[in-house]
Structure 1
Amino acid sequence: MTEVTVRQMTVSEYDEWQHDLATDYAEEQVTAGNWPSEGAYERAREGNAALLPQGAATDGMLTLIGMVDDEPIGRLWIGLTHPRGVPDCAFLYDIEVSAEHRGRGLGRALLAAGEVAARDRGAHALELNVFGANPTANDLYRTSGYQVVTQHMRKDLRRPAPRFVPSAAYRQAAFAGDPSALAGADRRLTVQEAETCLDRAKLAHARFLTGSGDHDEELPLLDRAVALFRRAGDVTGEAEALCWTGIFHQVVRQDDTEAVPFYRQAAERGDPLTRSFALRHLGVAEHRAGNLTAARELLEESTAIRREHDFPIGIAANLVGLIYIAAAEGRDTTEMITEARALATAAGATSVLAEVEEAAQATS
């Protein structure tokens, strides 16, 4: 992913952005059926002015230009105080990659740079709103780790619900002769299919862990997910599927040699939590091979990522392995056992808690 940095807007950049922002936002509101077209631009300008009374110098607002090397490629607007008062949560008001730079994957990199800027100023989370009629933006946020918190839905009661509702991409191509949206729509469906395959593979793995049913489809589903994510160019999705393929070989088939290459690919290309899983299981493989130092370093790196991203069950699971390693190295395990118990208990993770107690008993 190309690295994008951000800097504060200049006065002229801010003025141009305000015009473009109001134009686009007014169009979105009209398209969504929220505003009438008459006066929409003026209404959008007034709304922005209320949020930015001192312009680019408004306290608590980040109005940023995205840069690749020395070239501007896009714009960001982030409020460090959430408009509905959500504590420690910033709010993304606007993100846009300039038209001449689109199609290069810079939207994800620009979003990541904005996340860093918000986190560096004390935000623990970043929230946003996105219109349902903007599938490109929905796809970007979903594949960047954003989850639906609330959802507004609407039905027009003046007309019966149609039995057949063609997609926007189909309508644009079939009815207007414009196929430009087909590739994007196909990619979205490919990613959705990949995610479904991955979710079904996880369910199959859970059936294996609990002995509650057939799990023969797990590996074929993972292979399909990897192929579909790769076809869609979704690197982080592919990395997660590769990581779970490694877990299949290590946990189901007890084959660390087969699993390790999948973990290494996932650790190199995945998002932070996927990397934490890959490092954890690489640590398990090193532990089984008797390489305690390498195992400890991998588990500690995985645990540091999980602490940063607030994954308490994952921290407790890693501590189980670290307890065994510490005991083998002749170090005290009391603090790790206490923390692992507390985390597993608070999360209601009874299976992990049982592993903690087993480790405590085995190393006492």
Structure 2
Amino acid sequence: MTAAEYPAWLAAGEQGYLADMVRAGSHTPEQARKKAEEDSARCSAGRGHLRQHPFGASGRRRADRQRLAQARHLPEVTYGYSLVVDPEFRGRGHGRSAMAIGEQVTWDVGDRVVMFNVFGGHEAAMSLYTAVGYRVVEETRSCDLAAGVDG
């Protein structure tokens, strides 16, 4: 993506992240907003660092709006913070293409593992990751006890 596109992409990603946390029930709207702002500031602080590579489709495929941001998370691990294929372009293999590009970038920077976080309820994303060979490494579940407890 271009430098001019980056602020809008970052803002949209922050809003999506906030919405995911609220939808998944892991945070209240206020908590999610604070966490999204903090995490966004931390992740964008390294922009330009060798290990952070925001990129998207270019040229003829620019309309596909594939976006994948990579940044250092663990030793020899590239962590994908965001993969977005706009709704009108889904189901055409662009997610798989973006995953393949992310894997190549990971290899090119010397890492050996790619990891993505996905919030519960994102069945399409989970399905894509499974279909391209990713396995579940960690899973967290919650129960809102304020909603009612039997007995």
**What TM-score, normalized by structure 1, do the two folds share?**
0.38
Q: Any conservation in 2 of the 1:30–1:40 contact (CA below 8 Å)?
A: yes
Larger Rg: 1
Report Cα offsets for 1:22-57 as digits up to 9, x if no partner: 1100000111112211363454133111122153x2
Report the Cα offset of residue 10 of structure 1.
1.1
Alignment equivalent of 2:56, drawn from 42, 45, 65: 65
Cα deviation code 1:195-252 (max 9, x no counterpart): xxxxxxxxxxxxxxxxxxxxxxxxxxxxxxxxxxxxxxxxxxxxxxxxxxxxxxxxxx
Alignment RMSD: 2.1
Q: How does 1:68-107 map to 2 (within 5 A)?
A: 69-73=60-64, 74-79=66-71, 81-82=72-73, 85=74, 87-107=75-95
Contact persistence 2:56–2:62 (CA under 8 A): no
More strand by share: 2
Shift of the 114–68 alpha-carbon distance from structure 1 to 2, 3 Å rule, reads farther
Deviation at 1:160, TM superposition (A): 4.9
Q: CA deviation at 1:126?
A: 0.5
Query: Which residue does 1:141 correspond to in 2?
Result: 129
C-alpha contact 2:69 2:81 (8 A) present in aligned 1: yes
| Structure 1 or 2: more helix by fraction | 1
* Unaligned ranges ≥5, structure 1: 1-8, 162-364
Which residue matches 1:198? none
State how far apart, in whole Å, the 2-side matches of 1:145 and 1:37 are: 33
Establish whether residue 108 from structure 1 lines up as the match of residue 96 from structure 2.
yes
Would you say the 8 A contact 1:66–1:76 is kept in 2? no
Aligned equivalents of 2:141, 2:61: Cα separation in 1: 42
Choose from 101, 116, 125 the match for 1:128: 116
Counterpart mapping for 1:16-31 below 5 A:
16-31=8-23
Q: How many aligned positions are there?
A: 148
Aligned counterparts of 1:133 and 1:12: Cα–Cα separation in 2:
32
Question: CA deviation digits over 1:75-116, x for unaligned, max 9?
Answer: 11111x22xx3x311111110012332221211111111111
Q: Identify which of structures 1 and 2 has the higher relative contact order when contacts are C-alpha pairs closer than 8 Å and 6+ apart.
A: 2
